[in-house]
Amino acid sequence: MALLDSSAWFWSGLLLFPLVYPYLRQRKDRRKKITPTNERVLILGASSGIGRSIAHLYAARGARLALVARREQALDAVLEECQGPFRNAHVGVDETPPRDGLLRIVADYGNADDMIRVRATIEQQWHGLDTLIVCAGVSALRPLLAVAGVERAGGVFTPEKPSADGLERVKEVAFAAIHGNYLGPMLAAVTFIPLLTTTSTSPAILQISSAAAVVPAPTRSLYGSTKAASLMLYRSLAIEHPEITFSYVLPATVEGDFRASAVDGGPIREDLTHGLKREVVAAACLRAVDRHIRHVFLPSAWSALPFLYALLPNFIERMASRKYKFNRS
């Protein structure tokens, strides 16, 4: 038995090494072909949360920045911030930021016409694109049967079975989650991959995913499954388009109001007081793009979670139930 245990840990460590390696050997900026003030960056989901913090960091560099989101008022606020205290904070004395460096476009990345309009604007203003940041998305916070109107307590379902209205509600919520977390990223990739490939000397795409995309959690069945689908989509696209550097950031719980976007109207169950700071996640995103790092787990120790789940599924499931205050009985 000891031999089997040792063998299991050996192989799990061997499998874990590719994910740990980027943190053991952080490379200096490999993206030397593009200077910060010449980088053309499109942020989908720039109006709040991590996307807003990423916009601040790129604005501080003096990059050309296209801010895209659905909420016009919130997007205007980010534009003002990027024009003001965050703009050009680290621009060198010999560098002059371009006049057309800030674009603000109200659009839904799940709408094909909107994405065509965003692409046309970037082509007209910048004649190309270097970096695509995909950080828009929606949350879902309830157990799936609860979305259908069925509650469970002590092994008893109330009511005993979902109604037709309940099943329709599940479909409605699922379509909203798919639209925000899968169809949007898919349309964005299809829209901008040709532009990135043909107009940039070092094209890059960064997708903000979630730890829930690789390790299951209660009350996150819709959220986790749709994020997992888009993560696998982008991983496959990275193989189909090797000339583009793909990066994926998978954070744990992040502070902020992202859960206000819950398409199922569910309550927040986890403790947000110890969530990751948005600025920390944003800095990790820029570092991943600059250094061509494929996967970034935050906290970094969470890179072991997929392998721990394979080895100790019951333990990880208990920890997830505790985190989300979910009664498994």
The count of structural domains within the chain is 1
Higher pLDDT, 191 or 10: 191
pLDDT digits (tens, 9 = 90+) for 271-282: 666 789 999 999
Residue 94: helix, strand or coil by DSSP?
Answer: coil
Residues in the chain: 329
pLDDT digits (tens, 9 = 90+) for 223-251: 999 999 999 999 999 999 999 999 999 99
Band (pLDDT 50/70/90 cuts) for residue 150 is very high
Higher pLDDT, 77 or 136: 77
CATH number at residue 69: 3.40.50.720
Query: Could you tell me if 282 and 54 are in contact, meaning their C-beta atoms sit under 8 angstroms apart?
Result: yes
Higher pLDDT, 28 or 122: 122
Q: Cβ contacts of residue 178 below 8 Å, gap of 6+?
A: 226, 229
Task: State mean pLDDT over 164-170.
Answer: 95
Helices (H) and strands (E) counted in the chain, each on its own, are 11, 9
Q: Is residue 269 part of a domain?
A: yes
Task: State mean pLDDT over 106-115.
Answer: 95
8, amino acid identity? A
Here the tokens at position 123 are 């082509």
Model pLDDT, residue 323: 85
Tell the residue number behind the tokens 């995909």, with chain if given.
134
Q: Is residue 5 part of a domain?
A: no
Q: Is residue 149 part of a domain?
A: no
Q: Is residue 165 part of a domain?
A: no
Q: Is residue 167 part of a domain?
A: no
Higher pLDDT, 31 or 119: 119
Mean pLDDT value across the chain: 86
> For residue 60, with 0-12 CB atoms within 10 Å meaning exposed, 13-18 middle and 19 or more buried, which class applies?
middle
Q: Could you list the residue range(s) of the whole structural domain that residue 185 is in?
A: 31-140+178-324
Number of alpha carbons in the 13 Å side-chain half-sphere of residue 244? 28
CA distance 17 to 202: 27
Model pLDDT, residue 58: 95
Here the tokens at position 84 are 């003001």
Q: Cβ contacts of residue 78 below 8 Å, gap of 6+?
A: 46, 47, 52, 55, 67, 69
Q: Is residue 263 part of a domain?
A: yes
Q: Is residue 173 part of a domain?
A: no
Query: Could you tell me if 44 and 114 are in contact, meaning their C-beta atoms sit under 8 angstroms apart?
Result: no
Task: State mean pLDDT over 24-42.
Answer: 71
pTM of the model: 0.85
Helices (H), 36-163: 49-61, 72-83, 112-126, 144-147
Q: Is residue 219 part of a domain?
A: yes
Q: Is the pLDDT of residue 123 over 90?
A: yes
Task: State mean pLDDT over 193-217.
Answer: 96
